[in-house]
Every structure is written in structure tokens, then in C-alpha cells.
A and B are shown apart, each in its own frame.
Chain A
Amino acid sequence: MNPSSLLCLLAAWTLSPLLLGIINRTKAVFAGRRGSPLLQPYHDLLKLFRKDLVISRTTTWVFVAGPLAGCAILGMSTFLIPFGGSPSILRFSGDMILFAYLLGLARFMTVLAALDTGSSFEGMGASREVQFSALAEPTLFLALAGLTLSTGELSLSGLFSANSTLHRGGMAVPLALIAVALFILFLAENARIPVDDPNTHLELTMIHEVMVLDHSGPLLGLIQYGAALKLWVLGAILWNTLWPFSTGHNGADAGIALVGMMGLAVGVGVVESVMARLRLLRVPALLTGAGALALISLIFIARL
């Protein structure tokens, strides 16, 4: 096992809530506020983990299992993600398929936990979540197919390693298209504007927040930590696509990647500040549009 891979894993576990802090601070700056401290998400998590739980009488063990399994599954997915030139700890041909399906499993558990409350709000959120994710899944695979087609590599670590051919000449246009598709997925999967708004607390307009409406205390903490991990892993894939270069020095690469991740967080904050959320009926068009971009890049690559 590579020590730098281990360090990157630790970085994912410890630094992912920081991304949320950066997003919030960016939004505050745009709104002309001072905003909460960068480390506020950590304080929130600690506070939640110290709280008591209130659990609805309607629910069964599924309600508790949802956040527990969800956080464990997303924790598992961090083992598959290469970061800053270091390969991931688990890597094999087709690990991107396992990665995509781990995200699917985590979502399945969240949806079931939401349905377990028997509330129509949560049912509504769950219904929207499965709709959008069913449309997002093909887009993710199209983007992955584009990356594989251009390099011939079958694992995420191989795709984004220093000797991958991802940064050869002529790849700029298709890579940019894939990156745009991945950025849209990144926003959609992490429940961000323009698909979902993490800030409003009006149940009728939300997706992710409304599904976890009844969770409280440590379970809510696990959900939020899981969300931070998901932001990290998808962000890492996006950053690897945007920056397929290597300086040849492990530390420098990791540093660049860390700065890149923070840059992504700032980018999310900017998008959230300058855009409004789309109408729910328009979201499928956005997601299939992202799929179309990935498909166009595939055609580009096949022509090159």
C-alpha cells in the first residue's frame, strides 16, 4: 500500500466538511455578509453527534439503517478514488462501475429511510431523487466511457495516473465537454443549485433536504458527513478530469489537487450565488443535456 494513497484517504475523511465551509463562505461574500467561520461544518457535526435522537413511531429499523449504511457506503467509496496523482487503495479493472453502484446503493438506502417515515413530504423528495438519479446514471457512464475510450484504461487510478494518455494533444475539447457533463452531475448528485437548494427549508421545493427531514441528532450528523464525503469523491473525479497533468512530485501533485478541490468549492459557491434553482420539470432536460455533451465528446474521441 502506497503511503501517499493513505494520506489522501485521510485527507478525504478529514477535509471534506471543509469544502462545505468554503461553499458557504463564498456565498456569504457574494451576498455581502461576513458569513460563518470556515470550520463551522465541523462544529455542526460535533454538535449533532452530541445530541439526543427523536425517532418517529411509524418507523422501523430501516430508518436508522439508512444513515448508518449510507455513511458507511460513502466511506467505502473513498477507497476507490485516486487523488492528486496517488492511486487509490482499492483499484482493479472496472472499479468505476463499483464506484457508480456504491453511490446508487447509498441513494437507495436514503430513499428507503425517507419512505419509512410515511410522510408525504419525504415520499415526494424520494420520488424526485430516484427520478433524477435514474437520468443521471447514464450520463455518468457516458462520461466514464469517454475517459476509457481515450486512454484504454479500465480503472479510475489508471485513468488519472501520470502515464495515462488523458493529457495528450487534441484531447482538450472532448475533455472539456466531459468535464462540463461531470460538473452538472456533481451539482445534481450533491443536491446543489441549479437542481436542488440546500438552503431553503420549504419541503415542497426540495429533494435531498426533504428526504432527511425526520432524522435528528447523530443520524443527521452521519447524513451530513456522508454528504460531505460524496462532495469530496465526486469533486475528486471532476478535478482529475480537469487537471490530468502531473509534476512528477507526489507532494506537489497532492497540493495542487487540494487547491483544486477548494477551487471547485468556490466554483459551487459562485454558481449558487449567481443562479436560481431550475424548475423541477426542467431538471430532466439539464441531466439529459449533460448526457448529450458526454456523447458528443465520445464522438470527438472516436474521430481523433
Chain B
Amino acid sequence: MSTNQSAANHRFGDTIPPLLYEISRSGRRAVRLPESDVPSTRLPAELLRDDHDELRLPEVSEQDVVRHFTRLSHANMAIDTTFYPLGSCTMKYNPKVNEAVASHSGFASHHPLATTDDSQGSLAVMYRLQHMLAEIAGFSQVSLQPAAGAQGELTGILMIRAYHESRGDTRRRKILVPDSAHGTNPATVTMAGYEAVEIPSDAEGNVDLGALREACGDDVAGLMITNPNTAGLFERNIEAVVDAVHGCGGLVYGDGANFNAILGIVRPGDLGIDVMHFNLHKTFSTPHGGGGPGAGPVGANETLADFLPGPIVGMSQPSPDASDDGSDDSRYEFVSPAQSIGRLRSFHGNFGMLLRAYAYILLHGADGLRAISENAVINANYLRHLTRDVFPAKFDRTCMHEFVSVGSRYEGVSTMDIAKRLLDYGYHAPTVYFPLIVKDALMVEPTESENRETLELFAEALALVAREAGNDPDLLHEAPLTTPRRRLDEVAAVRNLVLRYEPV
């Protein structure tokens, strides 16, 4: 499409712009850079691009860039615009003060290899965050290095492996993973060089204790468990589960994906979990960013603390008068845990995310954190209650921060159809087809930042969609009708792979 055509076709509210390459014009510029003010040095011609290897990028003005990305942004649903009950993802409000803190030039412009003396502000933030996360989850030490939840999982399993190896116990090759787990869990087990063994769930959505006990043996290195689990249920037998694994010499990894339900309610460390990751972008409000960056700090009890990835931050000169207001004159420095599994990424982790999480915890304090979880849980239960006739929860018991229904209970209408139709009502859809233990799952997580009216309106929308599903299934097959693009053909995308712009 030419620039003129696309301009002529553009209507108010029609948000999707052409690709930048399609509006590019040779010689157009956005940024002007200073002239060189130093004597010229010859570039080594033999190392440079030749005519067959010319650099191609869009050539656009700054206004083009601003309009492009502003219009494109309107084609997104986001927490800032829409109720976004995407189960398992904890789409809570992201306080804007976090962004103000993270953009402070003292932090944003600070080089990761600056000297220890020059980094005392950042190191203080990291040291305090390590301690706060350890306190919140009941662990003795935390490493902030892992860059995302999945990397935190890998960290934890590598720590368990290093622990067994340090004891000369090398026959343990299996990690038990409940069938309700996120896909990252079994994928992590493989990356850690172990074999994933699936443990079934019982009729109430818990780990099947009998099957677990049967699987426990001297070849088991550990268990990965998400609690509350992906059905939004607290594992009632969690202490028996932990005992069974510990009893056979294994260790227990806690997947912290659903930690938002239990802040100040119960500490995983107190339940016997040996090591766990935190998802700062879920529980601690750092922005999801369209899929990342996350941050996946890992906490460990005394058994495993020495194996944490390094470096972590230690205090070399405790201040005698460190006080609650944070004004202390302690000195901080990087240290490596004694038997560290090594480094998981360059430098010190996603510091910008750590800083936002630090701000969020300080804004809440202990009572505020507990209020987060209480409200996340009451909101999920209230929504479960409101939708009990049209999309009853699969497991009829009190849930935690989310619940799972079956999306395919109306003849000829799929879970995906329900999800797409909800977009027409102005809501982002719940998570679909996960967890795998519920066929055609529809997984709803409202979070604590939503109010009662929003939940009631959403329940009403679900009831309307259910009625449409009964009366006019074709309408749902056609949905969405009001989004910037109608239903997109995922099969065609695979069949005819186009992964980059190619000039016509």
C-alpha cells in the first residue's frame, strides 16, 4: 500500500498504521547527531559493508515515529486501559511512582561495573530488597540475579542438583512435577539435565498424595510445586507433600508464580519449601511490558543458601544506627555465596525491576502486603461466586487469587470463542486452555487492584456471552467484531511463515 493510499484509508479510530518500512523515504531523518570534533581516523575498508550488504532500515521523521508508535499503542489492551483478568499472570495495577524512581538518573545512568564506592545507592537497594524478600517468604538468603521467573526456576533446580552433588549423591536423576504445573517447570527440568516425572492431581485439584508417595525414592532429586497451584487452589496437604519428598532425600522447589495470594498470609519457607523464585512483574507490580522484562529473584533456606547464584550483596560495615527510615551509613559490597552455582546472567540482574519492586514493598509495609493478598483472594472468590451459574468453577471450593472454569459448556462454542467474544465487551480475555488438568480451561484472576463494581460488570458480561453462546453460537464463532483486527489466522501464519518485512 502506498503512503497516500494508507493515509486516505485512515479513519479516526482505525488505529493500526502501516509498517515503518512502508512509509520510509530515502533521506528522511529523525535524530540529528553532532558533527565530529576530533581528528579523523580511517576506517578499515576491508572490514566494512559492501554494496551487496547495504544497511537497510526505515527512514522516517521523528513525527512519523511518534505517530506510528502512538497509534499502534491504541491497538493494545493493557492494565492501564482495561480489566485484564489473565489468569496466572497477576495483571495488577503498576504504580507510576515506580517509573519515577527507576528513571532517576542516579540509578538509570549508573554503569554496572562502576566501583563499589560509586555504587552504594544501588547496592543498598539490593541489600534491603534481599532482606525484605527473604522475610516475606521465610528464607534465609535471596539472590536477585535471575532475570525472569523461568530463569529463577532453572536457578533453583541447579541449586538442588549442586546440593546433591556436593554430598556425592549423584544417582538422583528425577524431578517430580505435578500435571497442573506451568510448562516452564518441565522445560526447566530438562535444561537442568534432569528427567521430569509427572505427578497426577486428585479430584479436588491437589497433588495426588498417594501417587506422589509412590514416586518418591532414592532417585528423586526434588519436587517442583506451585502453591497456590495453577487451579488457584491452596495445596491442602502441602506439609505432607513436603514431608514425603524430604523423606526420600529430595528437596522442594516452590514456583512463586502465584505468590500474590499469600503475602503476609503464609510463608513458603515456614511450610518447608527449600528454594523458591519470586516473579517481581507479577507479585511486586513491575510492568509486564508486553511479555518482559521480568525479574526472578530466588530465595533459599539454610540448606541451600550457599548454592545461590552470585554475586549477592553483603554488608561489610554495618551501621551502628541503621534506622527504619533507610538513612544509614552502612557499606555494601558484592560477595559470592560459598558454593555458588555460578552466574545466570551478566552483571547483577534486572536492577531496574528490582528498584521498582523495592519501591512497591516500601509503599505497602507488612499490613499493606497482607491487604494485597486478602483483596486478591476475596476478589477471586467473589467473581467465582458471581459467575457460578454461567461458568461454574471446576473445583467447588474456596479458591485463592484465581479460579478455573470450563469454557466449552455451551454446545458448539469453544473456550476460544468465549475469550474472543469477551474482547468485544471491552475486556481482555482470561487465560485459556491452561491448566492442562482442566479440559478447555478458562482461568480468571482479577487481582486486588480491581474494585467490586468492575467484578460485577465483568460477571454480567460473562453472563451475556453465555446467553449469546446458547442463542447464537455463530456470533461467537465470528468474534471479535470490534477489535482493530478480526480473528487472526494462526494456522496460516505457520503455513506461510513471514517473520520479517520483505519489500514487495
Chain A partners chain B:
no
